[in-house]
Amino acid sequence: MFDKDCGNNQQQTQQQVLQQPPQVQPDRIKLFIGQIPRHLGENDLKPLFDPYGPILEFSILRDKLTGIHKGCAFLTYVHKESAILAQRALHDKHVLPGMNRPIQVKPADTDNRGEDRKLFVGMLSKSQKEEDIKALFAPFGGIEECTILRGTDGTSKGCAFVKFGTHQEAAAAINSLHGSQTMPGASSSLVVKFADTEKERQLRRMQQMAGNMGILNPFVFNPYGPYPYMAAAQQQPAPPPPPPYLVGLNGLNAAAAAAAAAAAANNSNATPNTTGMNGTTLSSPAISMLNGGQGAGGQHNGTDLYNGLTQTYPAHSPDMREQQILYVDVLPQALLGQGLPNGADAAAAAALHTAGYPAAAAAAAAAAAAGLQPYPGVGGAGIYGSPPPMGLVPSMGMSSREGCSISGPEGCNLFIYHLPQEFGDAELMQMFLPFGNVISSKVFIDRATNQSKCFGFVSFDNPASAQAAIQAMNGFQIGMKRLKVQLKRPKDASRPY
C-alpha cells in the first residue's frame, strides 16, 4: 500500500514534489510518547518502535536550558500506517522499567495542546471507573481521552480529565453536567470545567508552594499594593525605604523563589513516587542563572545584615505591578543547604522565569525560606518612623500562646482570617508593617495542639493605617486561601452570644 502512495506523489507537480519529498506522507502522524524512564535515550528506545516501520524522526524532549530529559518524546514514522500500528501495539500496553504507569503512544497535540477541549471533572465517586466517566460524557461528543487521577496505590482521587474532539463538545458537556448531580460519597455536586492551562498549572503550583512555605512578603508579591494604594490615598507622605530586614527578606524570597520555581519546573524530573520537595541543596547554577534575570525596576544594592552579601531590593516603583520579577544579585549563602525545596534543577527556575511567567515568578517570590531569623527590631519598637506610643508596645514577656493582644484605638484593630498555618506573630506583623505602625500582632494558637488557629489581630496606632491595610490586604491570596481583613468590632459590640 505504500507503493501506491509513492505513485500518487509522483503525479504531483514539480513544486509540490519539492515541498513534499515523495518518501514522506503529507498526512503522517506525529506521535507523543510518554512515561519514558529518564535514563533512557533515543537509542535505548528505538528498538521498541522499529518493528512498526521506518522512523522519520524520533527525539526525546529535553529542557531547553539544561538538557534534562522530560520523560517523553516525539516520534514520527515515515508512514502513517506505522504510527497507527505502533499506537495500537504499545499505548498503555507496557510499563517501562522504573515507571508506574504504562507507556503512552498517541498523536501529539499541536499548539493549543488540546487544552481548550479538555475538561477537569471533580467531585466524582472514588469508585467510578474510566468507563463510568466515559458513559457520562459520551452523549456530548467523541471522547479522545479519559483519565481518572489516582494515587500511587491506585485509588481514585475523585477527579478526572476528559478530552473531547472539539471545544464545542466540551462546552456542551459543561453546560449539561456541571452541578447536575452529586455522586455518592462526594461532598458537593459534580464539577465539570475546562482543565487548567499549562500556565495556570504553573501558577497553582507556585501558589501552593507559597502557601506551604509560609512567610510572604507583600512588598514583592502583591501586585496591587500596598504602595499604589498608599500613594493614592496619601496616607503616608512617602513610601518608607525598605527596612533592613526586608532587604534580607527579599533575598530570602528570591532564594525561595528560585527553589520553588526549580521544584515546580522540576516536577517533570521527579522520579515516580517522589514529590517536589527534598532536602537538596540549592545548587550554584541557580545563582548564576538567576543573576542573569533582571527585574523591572529592581536595581539597588543593599547590604544584608545577616551575611553582608550584596543584595538587591525593589525600587519604589509607583506601580508595584511592575515588580513581578525576582530581584537578585547574589543569593545569600546562608540559605544554601537549609533544606530548601529541590534546587537541583535550578536552571529550570530561570527557564520558568524567562519563559513568560512573571506572575509565577512573583508568586514564587512570595514564598520565603523557612527558618527566617527575625531581624532584631521586629516585635520591638516600630520599624518605620517613630516608636509606638508608650504603653502600647507588646511586652517582651508575653507568651505568644496566650492569645491576648493589645488593642489600639477604635478603628485601628484588625481581624485577619485565613492566615497560613505557619504564620506567627512576627510574620503577621511583617505583613502589615507596610501600612503603618503595628503596635500589636497576635496569631491565635490552639492550646491543645500548639498550632495556629489561622486567624489573628493586628493593631495600628491610627485608623488610616488600618484602612490602608484592609484595602491592600483583604482578599490577598496566599496559597489556596485569601486573607480576610476586617476591622475588629469594639469590645462592647463583640459579644453576640
Partner DNA sequence: TAATATT
The answer to the question of residue 109 lying near DNA (CB under 7 A) is: yes
Question: Residue written as cell 447536575?
Answer: 180
Residue closest to 218 by CA, chosen among 2, 444, 430, 471:
430
In one-letter notation, the amino acid at residue 50 is: D
| H helix or E strand, kind and range, residue 300 | strand 298-303
In one-letter notation, the amino acid at residue 131 is: E
* Nearest distance, CB of residue 148 and DNA, angstroms: 9
The answer to the question of residue 201 lying near DNA (CB under 7 A) is: yes
Q: Which is nearer to DNA, 108 or 393 (CB)?
A: 108
**Would you list the DSSP string of 429-441?**
HHHHGGGS-EEEE
The answer to the question of residue 211 lying near DNA (CB under 7 A) is: no
The answer to the question of residue 72 lying near DNA (CB under 7 A) is: yes
Q: Which is nearer to DNA, 206 or 464 (CB)?
A: 206
DSSP 325: S
Strands 30-34 and 191-194: unpaired
The span from the CA of 72 to the CA of 134, in Å, is: 26
The answer to the question of residue 144 lying near DNA (CB under 7 A) is: no
314 touches 294 (CB < 8 A): no
Identify the burial level of 129 via C-beta atoms within 10 angstroms of its C-beta, where 0-12 means exposed, 13-18 middle and 19 or more buried: middle
Widest CA span in the chain = 95
* Nearest distance, CB of residue 425 and DNA, angstroms: 31
Q: Phi and psi of 8, rounded to 5°?
A: -60, -45
In this chain, which of 83, 123, 261, 428 binds DNA, going by CB under 7 A?
Answer: 123
In this chain, which of 125, 147, 338, 462 binds DNA, going by CB under 7 A?
Answer: 147
In this chain, which of 149, 172, 370, 454 binds DNA, going by CB under 7 A?
Answer: 149
The span from the CA of 364 to the CA of 373, in Å, is: 20
* Nearest distance, CB of residue 116 and DNA, angstroms: 12
Single out the segment in contact with DNA by CB under 7 A; choices: 5-13, 31-39, 323-331, 340-348. Answer: 31-39
In this chain, which of 193, 401, 447, 491 binds DNA, going by CB under 7 A?
Answer: 193
Q: Which is nearer to DNA, 19 or 386 (CB)?
A: 19
DSSP 162: E
The span from the CA of 237 to the CA of 240, in Å, is: 9
In this chain, which of 89, 159, 330, 393 binds DNA, going by CB under 7 A?
Answer: 159
Single out the segment in contact with DNA by CB under 7 A; choices: 6-14, 188-196, 331-339, 461-469. Answer: 188-196
Question: CA dist 287 to 155, 331, 336, 370, 372, Å?
Answer: 40, 6, 10, 19, 20
Q: Which is nearer to DNA, 37 or 244 (CB)?
A: 37
* Nearest distance, CB of residue 57 and DNA, angstroms: 8
In this chain, which of 39, 88, 113, 447 binds DNA, going by CB under 7 A?
Answer: 113
| H helix or E strand, kind and range, residue 472 | helix 463-473
The answer to the question of residue 157 lying near DNA (CB under 7 A) is: yes
- Note the residues at the interface with DNA (CB under 7 A): 30, 32, 34-35, 61, 64, 70-72, 74, 101, 104, 106, 108-109, 113, 118, 120, 122-123, 147, 149, 157-159, 161, 187-188, 191, 193, 195-196, 198, 201, 204-205, 267-268
